[in-house]
Structure 1
């Protein structure tokens, strides 16, 4: 089942289930209660599928990247948080601020939390995972490493629009069978299997729930693998995960 959040022509936002190119509005994410007539997707603008209270991203969570970088496998997620204003959705224009310097794309699988969880086990985690989405976790490499005394993870990853999510949340998918791809101007630039993860989604959610309460709609990016590359203004960057969808944005230069 595919869930989406969208905007009508009058500015009204709706959340619901996609069936036969129609969005069927629901009272809330995961609700079975309908709230109006179905609307054709062609009459809507898709948004990021959730507005999370927390947008968490992982570092060093893929075996191939860890091997290439000479890094040990972590026993607990190595993570950072992106600000709420970094969130953007399908079709957005993402500005590359002058202060950001070199910026790279990072195609990732995203976990969406379905209900409040705290101190859960990996075996319990699937009951709290609502579904999966596509993520592009843009990162300013120059900002991240600008100060040798303090890697600036939050600043490097939290420029406006640097957290792309969408186009939908798929609730019926086996994450182990997925491949995460990134296309730049329609050319494949990144491709890696989700099952190369060091910590599985179930382990990630369990571990994070030991550190903090996870709320419905919270978004967790599972980390990226090898292949992340710099982007420039004018580039179209799409994250494609067959079985979930394609979330694309256009990189733009800052206004004069």
Structure 2
């Protein structure tokens, strides 16, 4: 297993593998033939960036049996998803601020993210695993009151694409079996979510395969697998949200009203 990160040092971006409190710097292409330079950096000496720069962020809806049952929603025959704007992305540790144009509920959604490592177009479920680079933590922040504000058109993309509403990281973990993972979300010190990825309606490989028949998936793209029970509103003036997936790490951000 490797934990890949991107970082900024003296205004220059780099990447490497996280080894304890140090980063083994690499050169080349993270997804294909990256080579260690032999240089090691202290984690505390750099700023972590989003671990990839996606061409698209795909976010699933209704992809967990437990949440579908609670909402009395039928299990979908095909993956239901939207695209989040690339401009919503923000790095681990970043402060996310309430949009000036919105005064309604803002909710956290702790999720597993699939990171694509090899271009995928019309791949089968059996082939999909070879196109997955690894997995990451996602907080799919949502301005909940916007979604159904207009009865004629559900505004999912707008609700989920405000600046800062797409934190992910801190790493991409390779050689992970997603079916063994558990997502845990802690809001201001209180656990709010703890759910197994094995409860997904569509598995990671099924998602990559199905979506690759709709659109080409590029290296670095992120598929947010959807969330389960325990989504809630961030109500304090300053809120700390930690998404932890054992084997990957903890994504921590603050949301400021």
**TM-score higher than 0.5 here?**
yes
Counterpart Cα distance in 2 of 1:201 and 1:56: 13
Query: Where does the alignment leave 5 or more consecutive residues of structure 1 unmatched?
Result: none
RMSD: 1.2
**Helix, strand or coil: the match of 2:39?**
coil
**Helix, strand or coil: the match of 1:38?**
strand
Cα deviation for residue 74 of structure 1 reads 1.3
Matches within 5 A, 1:37-52: 37-52=39-54
Ranges of 4+ aligned residues in structure 1 off by more than 6 Å: none
Aligned partner of 2:62 in structure 1 is 60
Matches within 5 A, 1:1-256: 1-8=2-9, 10-26=10-26, 27-30=28-31, 31-35=33-37, 37-100=39-102, 101-232=104-235, 233-253=237-257
Query: Where does the alignment leave 5 or more consecutive residues of structure 2 unmatched?
Result: none
What do residues 45-90 of structure 1 show as CA deviations (whole Å, max 9, x unaligned)?
1111111000110000000000111111112210000111110121
Cα deviation for residue 98 of structure 1 reads 4.0
Report the TM-score, using the length of structure 1 for normalisation: 0.95
Counterpart Cα distance in 2 of 1:184 and 1:98: 23
Counterpart Cα distance in 1 of 2:69 and 2:246: 26
Report the TM-score, using the length of structure 2 for normalisation: 0.95
Number of equivalent positions: 252
